[in-house]
Amino acid sequence: MSRDSQHLAPGEGDRTGQVRAVVRAMTLLREIAAAEGPGLTLTEVAERAGLPPSTTHRLLTTLESERFVRYDVAAGTWQIGVTAFVTGSAFVRTRNLLMLAKPYLRRLVDLTGETSNILVENGGEVVCLDQAESRHTMRAITQVGGRMPMHASGSGKILLALMSRDRREAVLGGHPLDALTPNTITDPERLERELAEARQRGVAFDDEEHAAGLRCAAAPIWSETGQPVAAVSVSGPAARLTDDRLQELADQVARVAADITAEFGGRPGR
C-alpha cells in the first residue's frame, strides 16, 4: 500500500498522523465498495489491498463487528454493510455541490486565466449557479443566474450528450433550435453528431454559438449513481481561445470536473 508504512509497530501512526490499522481498514472498505458483482472473496480483498490474508481477515472481522462489512455465506464474499451505507447516506444529506465546487472554480481561473462556471439543467435550459471571474478586462458575459439554450452552450451540450435519448428528445422537443449566432447548430442531425462526439470526448465546446466572439469548453460532474448533475466550464473571448488553446482548456476543465466529482462522492457513468 502506497500510504501504509511497513515499519510501524501495530497501532502506531506514521509521520503524517495516520494510524496504520485504520488506513488498512479504509483500504479494504474502498476495495469492497469498488467491486463489481456480489462482493469479494477474502483472497480477492487481500490481493487488491496488498495485505496478507491473515491480516485482511482480522480487519474484516473487526469491521464486521461494527457492521461496516458483512460476510455472505452463500456467495462466500465480503460485502459492504449497513453501517457503511448509513455513514455514506449522511454525507449525501449534508454535502453541498456549490460549496464543494467553489475552490475548484477558483483553481480553474488560476490555471487558465479565464472565467469558470458551474451550471445545471433546468426547464430545458442551463442555468449558471456560480462563477469565478477572469482577471482579464475582456471576459465571458454569462452571469450567475443567467440562462442559456442547451443546444447553444458547451455546458448544455455535454449534459444533453449524457442524457438518455428519450430524455434528450423530450428536452429538445420543447425548445426550438434557434440561431443565436451564425455558428449556432440548428440542424437536429448535425447536433446529434456533435453530441455523439462530445459523449466520446467527455467534453463539449461552444464555438461562438451562444454569443459572437465567445468560446468555452465544458465537462460533466457526476453523482454517486453515475448521473450527470452539473457541468463545469471555462469560457472566454475567441481572440484568446484559439483552437490549440481551447483544447488545452478542455483537458484542464475535464481534470477539474473529475476532481469535483470525486469530492462530491460521484462516479462517472458508463
Can you give the residue ranges of every domain in the chain?
Answer: 20-93, 96-264
pLDDT at 3: 37
pLDDT at 18: 60
Q: What is the mean pLDDT of residues 265-269?
A: 85
CA dihedral 157, 162, 166, 168 (to 10 degrees): -10
pLDDT at 29: 92
pLDDT tens column, 18-67: 688 899 999 999 899 888 778 899 999 999 999 999 999 999 999 999 99
**DSSP three-state, residue 180:** coil
Q: Which CATH superfamily is domain 96-264 in?
A: GAF domain (3.30.450.40)
pLDDT tens column, 188-231: 999 999 999 999 999 999 999 999 999 999 999 998 888 899 99
The CATH architecture that domain 20-93 belongs to is: Orthogonal Bundle (1.10)
Separation between Cα atoms, residue 119 and residue 90, nearest integer Å: 25
The H or E element containing residue 221 is: strand 214-222
pLDDT at residue 96 is higher than 90: no
Q: Give the pLDDT band of residue 5 (cuts 50, 70, 90).
A: very low
Separation between Cα atoms, residue 265 and residue 260, nearest integer Å: 9
pTM score above 0.75: no
**How would you write 50-81 as a 3-class SS string?**
CCCHHHHHHHHHHHHHCCCEEEECCCCEEEEC
pLDDT tens column, 123-159: 888 988 888 887 775 555 667 778 889 999 999 999 9
